[in-house]
């Protein structure tokens, strides 16, 4: 089977990366930490124990924050704040924010996790009106 190659970057385009290999899991995390990280209803992260991360440019702009007394780790661009990949658990697990990818992935999320922390306003979002761009 052919190895997958994915490209990603931050919003300001100063940091870019490549992931070579397969993602084993894709979870939408509703924990309080991920909601704070994203400012949204959940984090969307891809996980791989085998894929290889290569920084193509701007690695010096990548900052990593570990929340004290937790396993919560977040890497981001120091200039624009975009979430970026990081290695966790003694570099045994690659975590990639799905929204930071520039290439498409065929994988769908495996599931929602930490649902007891779901935002109350998230219920019924599939019924909210959709717009192609900012509404007039």
CATH of the domain at 98: 2.170.150.70
Whether 130 is in a domain gets the answer: no
How many Å apart are CA 27 and CA 22, to the nearest integer? 15
Whether 85 is in a domain gets the answer: yes
pTM for this one? 0.90
Count how many domains the chain has: 1
Domain hosting 102: range is: 5-117
How many Å apart are CA 58 and CA 29, to the nearest integer? 27
Whether 50 is in a domain gets the answer: yes
Q: What pairs with residue 18 in β-bridges?
A: 7, 54
At residue 58, the pLDDT reads: 98
At residue 2, the pLDDT reads: 62
At residue 1, the pLDDT reads: 47
Whether 34 is in a domain gets the answer: yes
Whether 44 is in a domain gets the answer: yes
Mean pLDDT by 10 residues, the chain (136 residues): 87 98 95 91 95 97 93 94 93 95 95 91 86 89
Whether 122 is in a domain gets the answer: no
């Amino acid at each position: 089977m052919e190895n997958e190659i994915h490209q990603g970057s931050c919003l300001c385009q100063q940091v870019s990366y490549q992931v070579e290999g397969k993602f084993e899991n894709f979870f939408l995390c509703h924990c309080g930490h991920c909601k704070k990280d994203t400012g949204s209803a959940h984090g969307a992260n891809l996980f791989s124990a085998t894929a290889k991360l290569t920084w193509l440019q701007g690695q010096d702009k990548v900052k990593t924050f570990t929340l004290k007394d937790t396993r919560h780790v977040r890497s981001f661009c120091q200039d624009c704040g975009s979430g970026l990949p990081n290695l966790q658990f003694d570099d045994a697990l690659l975590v990639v924010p799905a929204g930071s990818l520039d290439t498409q992935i065929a994988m769908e999320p495996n599931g929602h996790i930490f649902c007891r922390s779901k935002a109350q306003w998230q219920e019924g979002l599939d019924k909210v009106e959709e717009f192609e761009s900012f509404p007039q």
